[in-house]
Chain A
Amino acid sequence: MTKALGEATMQVETRVRHGETPRTLLGEPLVEMSWHMRGEEFLLRGEGEHYFYYRKGSGITIDRGASFDASEESLWLNGSVYAAIASMNGLLPIHASAVAFQNRVFAFTGAGGAGKSTLVAALGDRGLPMFCDDTLILDLSDPEQILCLPGHKRLKLRPDALELTGALRQEKVSLTVDKYYAQPAAGNVGVALPMARLIFLEDGGGPAIAPIQGAERLTRLQDDHQTTQLFAAARGFSRGEQFGHLVRLARQIVMARFQRSRATAQFDEGADLAAGYIMSGGKP
């Protein structure tokens, strides 16, 4: 099967080699856990002297410095570095975990700790294969439809989420992060698919799923500050262009809100509702 152009681009652009990297792109020193972007270059500094440098067309160079944590390295690579490279190549990263049903993608978005991965694991247990975890990459090159690129990350769950969803525990994500890799029960989808729904996770009440309409469809897209900032920086958008970009997304992405209690006793009820919503094609 041929890959979508965006997928092929990401495969080429995320190839990794090790070597020396610049220490700054903008003159001033780069502090730990921050990044610089300049033209076709991106530089991220993790903890200590751990640097990730990307140049369009040349892939990623990692400078590990004197001491580094290999398990942290994959988190940086698959997180901010991957999102920046996507943005610099015209692909939009959003903070979402997703499943696929009948060749369309149902993505759940929310802040860190909102329960995206846990819900995707639970939906796997209900027969829905995982499409991505934590970062969803959107290919906007076709003006008629938004295409989702399949996930590059493995499912990661906290111990309580493993217990709640019954997902199969694998190795620990890193020495400092209390999460484990997990095998999604219904497997993964590895092909690009169109977006069916973008569903915002909200705490409290419910469980209930309702459409998001009107101006809120545009304003909710600005919730995802980190990736919005990366994409706007990479594209060099003026305010008017940024507005046009958000309007396109708001018009083309069908959105909903999923309100549910975070109490363990109500988790299955919420997951059942989400599975039913997806399997009905997105009817509340």
Chain B
Amino acid sequence: MPAITKLLDRFTETDIDEEIIIMRLDTGDLLSLAGTGATVWRLIDGERDRRALFAALADDFPGDDQRIALDVGAFLAELKESGLIDEA
């Protein structure tokens, strides 16, 4: 499985309190991430693939692995569509 990488030239980001705010440099649109979304974003390190990401999340959120895979899969698709990540 390919590693998930952040497309660092497409956005800028910061933390405020426990939340992450990302700004797309092409549109100026802001995306704020809290809770699980912020955790997933922090786990994207350019080395983990989907399987490793789900495994890391399963450690943090034990329980329904299938549910995690579905929710995170949808979230990753959203990030990919926004041009913030790639899997290659």
Contacts and interface: CB of A to CB of B under 8 A. Distances in A.
Interface of A: 213-219, 239-240, 242-244, 247, 250-251
A215 B25 contact: no
Main secondary structure of the interface of A (DSSP, over half): helix
A14 B11 CA distance: 38
Contacts of A239: 12, 23, 25, 28
B18 interface: yes
A213 B15 CA distance: 12
Nearest to B19: A214
B30 A218 contact: yes
A214 B17 contact: yes
B17, B20, B25, B34: most-surrounded residue (chain A CB, <10 A)? B17
A165 to B, nearest CB: 36
Given A239-B23, A240-B12, A219 B17 contact: no
9 contacts: A214-B19, A217-B17, A219-B32, A239-B25, A239-B28, A242-B28, A244-B12, A247-B14, A251-B16
Which 5 pairs of residues, A with B, have the shortest CB-CB distance? A215-B32, A214-B19, A215-B19, A214-B17, A243-B23
Contact of A217 (B16, B18, B25, B33): B16
Contacts of B17: 213-214, 217
Interface in B23-54: 23, 25, 28, 30, 32-34
B34 A215 contact: yes
Interface of B: 12, 14, 16-21, 23, 25, 28, 30, 32-34
Contacts of B25: 239-240
Contacts of A251: 16
Given A218-B21, A218-B30, A243 B12 contact: yes
A218 to B, nearest CB: 6
B26 to A, nearest CB: 8
A274 B39 CA distance: 37
B16 A215 contact: yes
Contacts of A216: 32
Contact of A214 (B18, B28, B30): B18
B40 to A, nearest CB: 16
B28 A215 contact: no
A217 B30 CA distance: 13
B14 A214 contact: no
Nearest to A219: B30
Given A215-B16, A215-B34, 17 more contacts: A214-B19, A214-B32, A214-B34, A215-B21, A215-B32, A216-B32, A217-B17, A218-B16, A218-B30, A219-B21, A219-B32, A239-B23, A239-B25, A239-B28, A240-B12, A243-B14, A243-B23
A233 B21 CA distance: 23
